[in-house]
Amino acid sequence: MTATPDHALSGETDATTTKTRTSSTENDVPAPKGVDPAPRTGGPGQASTNPAPTYADDSDGPRSTSPPQRVTTAPTHTENDDGQGPDSSPPVVISRPADTHGDAPSRRTIPLAGLAIAGVFAVVIATWLTAPEEALGIPVPGILVDYGLPVTRLLLDLAALATVGLSLLPKLLGFDDADRTEPIAARARHWAVMSALTWCAAALLATLLSAAEVMPGQIPDVGAYVETIGSGQGLIVSASAALVSAAIGTLAIRFGEKVPAELRVLVAMFGLLPLPVTGHASNWYWHDLSMVSMELHVIGASAWTGGLLAITLFLATNRSLLATTLPRFSRLATICLLLVSLSGLFNGIVELLLTPTEPFPASLFTTGYGQLLLAKTTFAATIALLAANIRWRLLPKITQAHPTTFATWAALELTIMGLAYGVAVALTRAPVA
């Protein structure tokens, strides 16, 4: 037997150690940023058995500062020691930003689209059903004014209620947890400015179309219309208030809640007060009482519909904030429901009672005004049932941050509100007799 020299053993050991270290160095590739560096199990070319990294759901807490990651695996290949081919090693996890856009924004706009589309549908149908017959020899404004004016008035109402609701949202969110509420409140302030500018533009366009309606067959004199007719003056005041609301909202974008939410809400609601001047409330001798009732009706409807719209657009997928905000809005909505229902019934019934050509209650069925009043009352009753469903069936689950179908029910309620708003616009223009 031949003895093995010590230096030979030492050399073999060193070679083995070097080989082991080299293999370890090749396999211990630094993990890319955002990848779990924990050891992975599994054979060559197999996916890692470690769970993928998880991220906080925006619906249950604050928005993550980094975008969600789509995790994919790719096998790495290293060359064998003898240089004769690749050797598979555990896969490397590659993180890529996930597609966070998709169709989420389109889903969020469904409530707004439902409100607007239903409103336009209702106002066009109601205007067509109650349009008076044309008299021979009397000029008429034309189809553009006949249908363009009520649609523009509907746009004015929807933009105004959106401004009220978006201005009200920071107050409903509260200021106890600014880290979570401020990002949403900031977005609401931006959209409130946009809706206020839309409101102003719609009011000015409605003024032009209203002048064309009372001056058919000629170029409308808007100045004379505003100077001599109360509805024109009301529209100009409303447009001015909308412009002031946009200016204050711009300051709120710059300085945040240093510009109080209460101020923005009050300015927006002030712009609603002149609107009843353009309806039937200005035409009969119970002027003061009818004006107060109509103004309460408009303000209550705008706060209710606008608040629900803002909550649905910005909080429907955020369970934790919805759990604290919806109970506050629910109390406000209950007051608005009572206010809108009582004032609406009072104004409609008294209007029919003071019409001597048709006896009441037969006038509910024999006049276009009465038929629209019945339709609006039906929509209001449906809205009340939907609101009760949210208040008594869904709200207890929402306050416990449980998953619910709130977004679906709220979108349905807003759609019915759109129908009610469309009928209401046609109601202000329909002949009573």
pLDDT tens, position by position, 49-61: 444 444 334 444 4
Q: Which amino acid belongs to residue 205? A: L
What confidence tier does 419 reach under pLDDT thresholds 50, 70, 90? very high
Q: Is the predicted pLDDT of residue 217 greater than 70, yes or no?
A: yes
Q: What is the pLDDT of residue 49?
A: 41
Mean of per-residue pLDDT scores for the chain: 78
Q: What length is written for the chain?
A: 433
Q: Count of CB atoms within 10 A of residue 251's CB? A: 15
Q: What is the pLDDT of residue 139?
A: 74
- Do 79 and 85 contact (CB within 8 A), yes or no? yes
Q: Is the predicted pLDDT of residue 281 greater than 70, yes or no?
A: no
Q: What is the pLDDT of residue 198?
A: 97
Which has the closest alpha carbon to 421: 309, 313, 320? 309
Q: What is the pLDDT of residue 323?
A: 93
Bridge partners of 69?
97
| Residues 21-38, mean pLDDT to the nearest whole number | 43
Distance CA 302, CA 38 (A): 55
- The tokens for 236 are 């100009």
pLDDT tens, position by position, 368-414: 889 999 999 999 999 999 999 999 999 999 988 888 899 999 999 99
pTM: 0.74
Bridge partners of 205?
none
Q: What is the pLDDT of residue 230?
A: 85
Q: What is the pLDDT of residue 212?
A: 92
Q: Which residue has the tokens 């008076």?
A: 132
- Do 183 and 174 contact (CB within 8 A), yes or no? no
- The tokens for 146 are 């006949």
User: Which one is predicted more confidently, 205 or 52?
Assistant: 205
Q: What is the pLDDT of residue 279?
A: 58
Which has the closest alpha carbon to 158: 130, 189, 118? 118
- The tokens for 358 are 């048709």
DSSP codes of every residue in 147-193: HHHHHHHHHHHHHHHHHHHHHHHHHHH-SS-HHHHHHHHHHHHHHHH
What confidence tier does 274 reach under pLDDT thresholds 50, 70, 90? confident
| Residues 358-370, mean pLDDT to the nearest whole number | 86
pLDDT tens, position by position, 118-155: 999 999 999 999 887 776 767 778 889 999 999 999 99
- The tokens for 63 are 């928005």
CB-based contacts of 46: which residues, under 8 Å, 6+ apart? Answer: 91
Long-range contacts of 227-232 (CB under 8 A, 24+ apart): 230/277, 230/278, 230/282, 231/277, 231/278, 231/282, 232/207
Q: What is the pLDDT of residue 289?
A: 80
Sign of CA dihedral 330, 335, 336, 341: positive
Distance CA 405, CA 388 (A): 14
- Do 405 and 394 contact (CB within 8 A), yes or no? yes
User: Which one is predicted more confidently, 96 or 275?
Assistant: 275
